[in-house]
Chain A
Amino acid sequence: MNRFLRIFSASVIALLPLAAQAELAGDADRGAEVWNKCKGCHQIGEGAVNRIGPQLNRLFGRQAASIEGFSYSKSMQRAGNDGLTWTFETLDAYIDNPKALVSGTRMSFPGVKDAQDRADLMAWLRRYSDKPSDIPDAEPTARLDYIHVDPAVFEIKGDPEFGEYLASECTTCHLRDGSDEGIPSITLWPEDDFVAAMHAYKQQLRPHPVMQMMASRLTDEEIAALAAYFGALEDE
């Protein structure tokens, strides 16, 4: 999985309907307290610099060991070169037990064992990750409690034929074969993820201006149709 897809997937997880992903719903305000365990070594926010650990602005979607000027362990560098990117999943595993994920990491920290604490911490970290120009006072863009989608929206059955026509607007940029050369893949997503992501753009929670514009004029039925079409897209 490439970096862009990872960024996208990471945010989608947080956008899933409450029932489906309750265990991942982090409370950023609580996360600010968990952060106290980290701030002895790491900085975040405006003017954050590398200290004992690297600064953590824009952590999500970042390749491991990619902050210039920070001296990483060989182990972390290798992990980064091998493609380790910080997502909800990878970060959750790392914060749970750093050495289990990156055996030679210099981060001497036993880990945060409580899953809810980790989710809260990540929700907090996420505030500094979405839109570079908004740092440090970015509105959190991917918090569950910020997206308001009527559960009925997820029940709409999309018409793939309609989706195919609408999709022609997407494929000017997104490659139909699902590859990513600078613009994320949107094929073969679970339909609910697709619907949640599009509504997050529509509500301007996800930050990208092109996608906000595209999503803003899509109806619930059109989003469902696109989700149905791209979710089942085979090679032509």
Chain B
Amino acid sequence: MTLNRRSFLGAATATAASLGAARVWGASHGKPRVVVIGGGAGGATAARYIAKDSNGEIDVTLIEPTRTYYTCFFSNLYIGGFRELSSIAHTYGTLAAEYGVNVVHDWAVGIDRDAKTVSLAGGYTLPYDRLVVSPGIDFIEGSVPGWGVETQNAMPHSWKAGSQTQLLKAQIESMPQGGTFAMVAPPNPFRCPPGPYERISMVAHVLKETNPTAKILIADPKEKFSKQGVFEEGWNKHYSGMIQRIGPDFGGDKVEVRADSMELVIDGEVEKVDVCNVIPAQKAGRIAELAGLTGANGFCDIVPATMQSRVDENIHVLGDACNAGDMPKSGFSANSQAKVAAMAVRAALTGSKAFPAKYSNTCWSLVETNDGIKVGASYQATEEKIAQVDGFVSQTGEDADLRKATFEESLGWYAGITADMFG
């Protein structure tokens, strides 16, 4: 059969009609859209579980500025020389290729909650039916007088992993013999409660080998800290005389820094230091604040059963950015919360079965080679908050085999959680 003009036109019209119909259908009956802001333990896990468990019924877009993501967890082990930086680096190729997640490397710069759209620094605007906000933390400006982003190279925070972590490690390694490493520890609440103290352990491990007369000084605004008993036991055992912690009773809460002269001023007393790791006070990642999701303490209140924002039911806030009741701000917590949120999002958008929320967390820390410790708990959703059910913490006096097993377990956990996040 030859194609005459009439039949050609007819075919063209039919095609146009079907395209038009598809477009209309796409607008009114299309797949539900989920946008996830942040590709860390909360966001990557949520994106993966929503995409995986909805079997293509939900469009998932993940917005993450960095192409290579360095996990904060285990970044201290890199500082201590126990891990290569490359071993904590992850990319999003599997989420895109195997799970069909639309990965967009850009910054989310605004959320229009009425229009239900997210705007990106690159100029695009993405519509959503449900939004998952998991942006991690930002620092509270002025919380450590004298410190700001303009001084973060002289005095690194290294509380977001990557170049800052590399910088701090390099500075530790080039400290003069007998020099002083100082840390300004953050006030509660902050990302990774045992993190500063694991970092101190890792710095001490490095200095013990390379610079045994060096000193470590911690200015700490908190009375107590996570796993304090076992950390201090380990410091006495492995790094005797090296570490001095100044708590609030001696002015650890009244600190300012002078980046130009590398000075730390504790309650008026000036200390000259060689490396100064300033971990400022924290709040939810800025995008959460811009969207009006944050509460009085700078973090976002959530509904315990679903991780929905208390101020917007179309938004779920995960991880460090939220007020998760009794749960600490940790990668494990964010990963746990993400699965509850993913289930709630799927149930809302596709009518899939929803089961009761269960949360859990464990934080492992390394004190010295093969001396691992941990703290953990399980949680349930009550009306008021995510409440602790049960818990455990490493004990002082545990034998070396148990500590070694605890460390080995942490390696297994790292492999597990990163596979759970990135596929």
Binds A, one of B190-198, B226-234, B304-312, B405-413: B405-413
In the complex, per-residue mask of A188-223: 1 if CB is within 8 Å of any chain B CB, else 0 = 000000000000000000000110111011000000
Residue of A nearest to B49 (CB): A168
Known: A132-B401, A161-B353. A173 touches B336 (CB 8 A): no
Residues from chain B with Cβ under 8 Å of A212 in the complex: 392
**Interchain CB contact (< 8 A) of B401 among A58, A166, A179, A180:** A58
CA distance A31 to B391 in the complex (A): 36
Residue of B nearest to A212 (CB): B392
**Interchain CB contact (< 8 A) of B355 among A131, A162, A175, A216:** A162
CA distance A131 to B410 in the complex (A): 18
Known: A58-B401, A173-B413. A168 touches B339 (CB 8 A): yes
**Interchain CB contact (< 8 A) of B419 among A133, A165, A176, A216:** A176
Residues of B in contact (CB 8 Å), total 40
**Interchain CB contact (< 8 A) of B413 among A132, A169, A183, A213:** A183
In the complex, per-residue mask of A149-191: 1 if CB is within 8 Å of any chain B CB, else 0 = 0000000000001101110110111111101111110000000
B12 CB to nearest A CB, Å: 43
A114: interface (CB < 8 Å): no
- Interface positions of B (Cβ within 8 A of A): 49, 52-53, 332, 335-336, 339, 343, 353, 355, 358, 360, 362, 374, 376-378, 380, 389-392, 395, 398-399, 401-402, 405, 408-417, 419-420
14 contacts between A and B (CB under 8 A): A131-B402, A162-B355, A168-B49, A168-B339, A169-B336, A169-B358, A171-B416, A172-B332, A175-B415, A177-B419, A182-B411, A183-B413, A210-B392, A217-B378
9 shortest A-B CB distances, which residue pairs?
A: A182-B412, A183-B412, A182-B411, A181-B415, A209-B392, A132-B401, A168-B339, A173-B416, A182-B408
20 extra interface residue pairs, beta carbon distance < 8 Å, beyond A169-B358, A212-B392, A214-B360: A132-B405, A161-B353, A164-B53, A165-B355, A166-B355, A172-B335, A172-B416, A173-B413, A173-B417, A181-B411, A182-B415, A183-B409, A183-B415, A210-B362, A213-B378, A216-B378, A216-B390, A217-B389, A217-B390, A236-B52
